[in-house]
Amino acid sequence: MKKVILAYNRVSPEVITQLKEDYEVIYFEKNEYLDDPFFVQTLKKASGVIGLDLKVTKELLDLAPELKIISNVSVGYDNLPVDELSQRGIMATNTPDVLTDTTADAIFGLLLAAARRIAELDHYVKSEQWNELLPPHLFGMDVHHKRLGIIGMGRIGQAIAKRGHFGFDMEILYHNRSRKLEAENWLNASYVSMDELLAESDFVCLMVPASPETKQLISHEEFKKMKQTAIFINGSRGQNVDEDALYHALENGTIWAAGTDVFTEEPLPAGHKLLTCKNLVTLPHIGSSTAETEHKMSVVAANNLQAGLSGKLPPNLINKEVKLNR
């Protein structure tokens, strides 16, 4: 009998077809299904789960006695209780590397858009307000030769720094849990304290993973430490920023502008106050969302799943300490 795979939310159709050769794959288009009896029934017999951003809780795991592996189609894994999975002998995997450049492109795009007011001026043209020379109060801010501060110098942070350093002659500052000596060399990046980074950067770009330690890492105090001309970019997770503080920093002119791809609640609820900020560029969490990269992520996730279910170590195992219950 084929093992059962519960697939949900954004696994590419080609990959589903390929998985069906070896497994019984049951696909759900969304991932909020605990009140759906068919989802629960599938979970009960699933050996593997593959998809994007399923909120995995103890309650969900209690309903999945056969589960051996959860294969995230994302690099982030804040949806997974990693220690709990390890204790239960369930492997967890993610999809690093394939999305690094795509995500860095998107986040650098956000930075450019915020600095040069691209979204705002697109609206200006399309709403037929362009009937004179652009008034100076709508001028943007230079990016080239400015100072880019990156908080979280992982793979994507470094790829953003690379764009800034080689493409835009920017000076790179960074703050990270550990020094990245290689990046210091090839990107001429300077390791600085958080306070120094906030105070000295023209662009502050947040790229840390979400964890209890990074919850609301950027709040009122941090915005106050930034330059009044600073542009703040969040390409990490919404919960890493106090959105109330961001709103006030933008409205009161504590900083000049911001761009964010992520929000505490996604999709952003109707009527959210950040929607009224003209100096905020928003994206609907699309860092890795190009057709090519989404497909590559599905392939990597499927490889992880197949390795895990055939008794091998998945290439992108997150919880290396897992005591396999095979």
**Tokens read off for 167:** 């493409």
Q: Which stretch binds ligand GLV (CB under 6 A): 18-26, 38-46, 69-77, 162-170?
A: 69-77
Question: Diameter of the chain by CA atoms?
Answer: 71
The residues in 144-203 that bind ligand GLV, with binding defined as CB under 6 A, are: none
Give me the least distance between CB of 146 and ligand GLV, in Å please: 26
Query: How many Cα atoms occupy the beta-carbon half-sphere of 292 within 13 Å?
Result: 6
In the bound state with ligand GLV, the residue whose beta carbon lies nearer, of 154 and 287, is 287
In the bound state with ligand GLV, the residue whose beta carbon lies nearer, of 51 and 76, is 76
Q: What is the DSSP string of 73-97?
A: SSS--TTS-HHHHHHTT-EEE---S
**Tokens read off for 35:** 């009140």
* DSSP code of residue 198: H
Give me the least distance between CB of 107 and ligand GLV, in Å please: 11
**Residue nearest ligand GLV, Cβ-based:** 76
Residue 76 binds ligand GLV (CB under 6 A): yes
> Binding residues for ligand GLV, how many (CB under 6 A)?
6
Give me the least distance between CB of 288 and ligand GLV, in Å please: 5
Query: Residue 220 contacts by C-beta under 8 Å, 6 or more apart in sequence?
Result: 242, 245, 248, 249
Question: Which member of 10, 237, 243, 294 is catalytic?
Answer: 237
Binding-site member from 239, 288, 298, 306 for ligand GLV (CB under 6 A): 288
**Tokens read off for 274:** 């950040």
Query: Catalytic site residue 321?
Result: no
Question: CB burial class (10 A; 0-12, 13-18, 19+) of residue 124?
Answer: middle
Give me the least distance between CB of 246 and ligand GLV, in Å please: 19
Query: Catalytic site residue 266?
Result: yes
**Beta strands per DSSP E along 230-282:** 231-234, 257-260, 280-282
Instruction: Please say whether the beta carbons of 88 and 81 come within 8 A.
Output: no
The residues in 202-261 that bind ligand GLV, with binding defined as CB under 6 A, are: none
For 30, other C-beta atoms within 10 Å of its C-beta total 12
Give me the residues that bind ligand GLV (CB under 6 A), please: 74-76, 99, 287-288
Catalytic residues: 237, 266, 285
